[in-house]
Amino acid sequence: ADMPVVITLLNSYSGWALCAEGFILNQPLLTVVGALIGSSGAFLTKIMCDGMNRSLVNVIMGGFGTEAGAVQTAEGLVHTEINVDDTAALLRDAQKVCIVPGYGLAVAQAQNDIAAVANSLREQGKEVKFAVHPVAGRMPGQLNVLLAEAGVPYDMVYEMEEVNEEMENFDVVLVVGANDTVNSSAVNDPKSAIAGMPVIEVWRAKHVVVMKRSVASGYAGVDNPVFYNDNTDMLLGSATETCQGLRNAV
């Protein structure tokens, strides 16, 4: 989530530069437009930093000397794998489903397949909700835009806080390409590198299915204990193929 913060910060800088140019050239319109761009970028940067419970300095400087995506599997822990057909069966048997998209969904461009899965479940009488973390993806609002492009109605997309309040009521939570934003270490491990970061607490649901290419850690380089919970199954493989298979199976 550091990259979106950097983007909004640079966007803010460009606005203030435009504002200064307006002062120099005595162009009030440039000054006003620059001030709007600069202030909106600054506000968005602050909101996203709050979403990660980190300071701006920590976001800018915290990535130096670290490796992204390092596999840090705790010794002795074993994850449980599931296939596409069994995942589809879980979704068909569920009455209330939550879908949590992440950066992996954007990389695979699988938003249309996931949207089709959600629509199919709704036609079957299921209650389906999308939960989007405020810093999911690599650009601000990237997941919201992708879901909108895929035709997902706005009333199906919920903020992190709204979904966390009713997480225990979901029969199945389908995590698609998300990792750090659903990491229980942020809540349960005060010594974790992401301790205190607000996350979507998927582990509190009745059943969790995580769709990822592998069990490797995310950008933060922190292993995710959710992968090894008794109520979690891992659907590993390319999101493009698994999402298409899930679409056909559901």
The catalytic residue positions are 103, 138, 219
- Which pair of tokens denotes residue 135? 């810093």
Name the H helices within 78-224.
84-93, 103-108, 111-123, 142-149, 160-164, 185-188
Q: Report CA-CA distances (Å) from 112 to 25, 45, 106, 108.
A: 48, 29, 11, 11
- Measured N-to-C along each axis, helices 84-93 and 239-249 cross at an angle, to the nearest 10 degrees, of 50
Beta bridge partners of 175: 100, 210
Length of the chain, please?
250
Residues whose CB is less than 8 angstroms from the CB of residue 68 and which lie 6 or more positions away in sequence, other chains included: 218, 219, 221
Q: Report CA-CA distances (Å) from 208 to 90, 194, 236.
A: 10, 21, 13
- Measured N-to-C along each axis, helices 142-149 and 111-123 cross at an angle, to the nearest 10 degrees, of 60
